[in-house]
Structure 1
Amino acid sequence: MPTAPKPKPAIFHLAYPIKDKEATRTFYRDILGCHQGREAPTWIDFDFFGHQLSFHLKPESFATPDPTNQVDGKDVPVRHFGAVLPWNEWHALRDRLIEAGTEFVIKPYIRFKGETGEQATMFFLDPSGNALEFKSFKDPSQIFAA
């Protein structure tokens, strides 16, 4: 009897507003290294670390500031997205962002150093002001550790 094909992991789809399609294209393609997918006059897609990220031109979405919450004494944007990268890839991205002159909302740092859930994290904004968090776990098995 043939073996059933192994199910593929779920790929998430996330759609966010943007102010400027060309600035978004440059940032996600050239700075973050995301492959561009389809586009139309009012939207553009990217392969965001294996997931589908769609941006829609909607500058009026940015009329009010986004809320924050205190985490580790830092103002963390409540609405944010990002990716959990392997340790070395996170550090390489951090270095690329610093070299590109990125202004961090929360500068790269290590949380829970030497404890369960030790992780590298950083927050920054894309050209439209959408908050991104990239993190990496020293021990990936602790991503969902309580």
Structure 2
Amino acid sequence: MQDRPRFHLAFPVNDLEAARAFYGELLGCPEGRSAPEWVDFDLHGHQIVAHLAPEEVGHHNTSPVDGHDVPVRHFGLILDWDAWHSLAERLRNAGTKFVIEPGIRFKGQVGEQATMFLLDPSGNALEFKAFRDESMIFAK
């Protein structure tokens, strides 16, 4: 077991094969157990489960944050600075369409962070971020 607990997140998708391509191939999440209605993925040690539920997919609302309309319902990871930049480059090279392009938010302020938002094939919003100083993750 890790030093910290792992989280588990179940989320809706409308196509399991598209989810496998996005989470498994593009994001590099190893696949775990599966059934005809769901697939487990290992997102950096955390268990995320894509459930076939087309009627529940997609994000629907946004909230203004630092000049951007951030999808309210989203999930993702806080990566280290170099890993975030590597992922941003890999996603750009793959032709990913971003909801919010990779960039720096709150530059020069408490909580300065690199962030990017994208949608999976079912319209679920994901955010990947990195803090220049990880001690600022929960700073006020």
Normalised-by-shorter TM-score class: over 0.9
CA-to-aligned-CA distance 1:15-35 (integer Å, 9 cap, x gap): 000010011001111111111
The range that moved more, 70-79 or 13-22, is 70-79
Over the matched positions of the two proteins, sequence identity in percent amounts to 60
CA–CA separation in structure 2 for the residues paired with 1:87 and 1:111: 13
1:3 corresponds to which residue?
none
Deviation at 1:65, TM superposition (A): 5.6
Runs ≥4 residues deviating over 2 A: none
3-state DSSP of counterpart to 1:26: helix
**Counterpart selection for 1:106 from 92, 100, 113:** 100
Q: TM-score, normalised by structure 1?
A: 0.91
CA-to-aligned-CA distance 1:85-114 (integer Å, 9 cap, x gap): 000000000001001111000011101212
User: When the two structures are aligned, how many residues end up with a matched partner?
Assistant: 140
**Counterpart selection for 2:21 from 21, 26, 31:** 26
Matches within 5 A, 1:1-146: 8-62=3-57, 66-146=60-140
Which residue identity is paired with 1:30? E
Runs of 5+ unmatched residues, structure 1: 1-5
CA–CA separation in structure 2 for the residues paired with 1:49 and 1:137: 17
Q: TM-score, normalised by structure 2?
A: 0.95
Whether the aligned pair in 1 keeps the contact of 2:38 and 2:50 (CA below 8 Å) is: yes
Runs of 5+ unmatched residues, structure 2: none
Structure 1 residues 78, 26: CA separation in 2 closer, same or farther (over 3 Å shift)?
same
Deviation at 1:115, TM superposition (A): 2.2
Deviation at 1:74, TM superposition (A): 1.2
Whether the aligned pair in 1 keeps the contact of 2:59 and 2:74 (CA below 8 Å) is: no
